[in-house]
Amino acid sequence: MSILIYILYFFCAMLIPGVISITKAKLSGRKGPGLLQPIYDIVRLLRKGSVYSTTTSYIFQYAPTVNFAAALVALAFIPLDDIPGMLHFQGDFVFFAYLLGLGKFLLILNAMDTGSGFEGMGANREALYSMLAEPAFFIVMGSLALLSGHSSFVDIFGQFQETTQYSILLGFLGAYILGQVAMVENSRLPVDDPRTHLELTMVHEVMVLDNSGYDFGIIMATNGLKFGIYAGLLSNLMVPDWFPIGLRIGFALIVSLLFGVMVGLLESFRARNKMARNPQFILTLSAVSLLFFFTIMIIANRI
């Protein structure tokens, strides 16, 4: 069953970029690409060779693959309510966060290894935004761990809806915070605009300007995996624990695809922040997560 859950989230991860593109195209009155076009693009890139600058080292060659591998392993920790993922142990959400951090660290080194001023600038911004978004994730997961009395994803989500009658309210608030963290971690609006072509205002895109062929395909696949990872976390906060397993799987699929639709809606009607406002916006997520924490403290009679 754990393998089935992993396949479900991997399937959703590959579809979410296409759902986002279709949503944005329809809202702007365009036909747009097909649902599977991002997958076709990845496959096309994986069949090509990579070009390496003479100024780069082995770090530039291996970093995209390590980043992809870290996301693949992180996906294996995501459960479906009380059904565990392929990997699980007490405190696994901490290991999960720093596993993704390892991939981000290698991608930053990948950008800096080129010796490009533009890519170094993007790496600096990526490191700053990830550092500012990390407390929000840990406060949310730590609060849920405090409420459930466990520190493993499967135990936290498996008992989440049984611990309090306010689980629906907490679920929506936690989903909002994790959804915004996902936008930051994937360098989407309002923090970054994937459609921009001005190096001075890019974040993620400017980091991978020198990657090509197979390496760039791996990077695109990793971006999709990260969307699938956060969609899986959102599904666990929303899926009713009294559903039978078949309905849980269907519900998780619907929530994941709706997450892609919501990203497309937000990016269609949301303007990009000024660069100087991004740290303030990300720190606001930590403030909202503190509200989530104190709400749980009150519910659990710890205050």
pLDDT digits (tens, 9 = 90+) for 4-58: 889 989 999 999 999 999 999 998 888 888 889 999 999 999 999 888 988 888 9
| Residue of 82 and 230 predicted with greater confidence | 230
**Residue 79: predicted pLDDT:** 92
pLDDT level of residue 164 (50, 70, 90 thresholds): low
Q: Does residue 162 carry a pLDDT above 70?
A: no
Round the average pLDDT of the chain to a whole number and report it: 88
235 pLDDT more than 70: yes
SS3 85: coil
According to DSSP, residue 242 is labeled T
CA 219 to each of CA 66, 127, 223: distance values in angstroms, whole numbers, following the listed order: 10, 17, 6
DSSP state of 272: P
Distance of alpha carbon 13 from alpha carbon 230, whole angstroms? 9
- Token pair 């269609």 is found at 268
CB 17 within 8 A of CB 223: yes
Sign of the torsion angle spanned by Cα atoms 104, 141, 265, 251: positive
How confident is residue 264, by pLDDT bands cut at 50, 70 and 90?
A: very high
Bond into 190 cis (ω within 30): yes
- pLDDT reading at 241 higher than 80: no
Label residues 15-49 b or e (16+ Cβ within 10 Å = b). Answer: bbbbbbbbbbeeeeeeebeeeeebbebbeebeeee
pLDDT of residue 192: 84
Q: What are the residues whose beta carbons fall under 8 Å from the beta carbon of 106, sequence distance 6 or more?
A: 59, 62, 63, 66, 67, 70
Residue 163 has pLDDT above 70, yes or no: no
Closest CA relative to residue 60, chosen from 126, 114, 100, 102: 114
Rounded distance between C-alpha atoms, residue 34 and residue 25, angstroms? 10
At 199 the pLDDT is: 64
CA distance 17 to 220: 10
pLDDT at residue number 299: 80
pTM of the model: 0.91
Q: Judge whether residue 255 has pLDDT over 80.
A: yes
Q: What is the mean pLDDT of residues 234-243?
A: 83
Cα–Cα distance for residue pair 105/98, rounded to 1 Å: 10
pLDDT digits (tens, 9 = 90+) for 98-143: 999 999 999 999 999 988 888 888 899 999 999 999 999 999 999 9
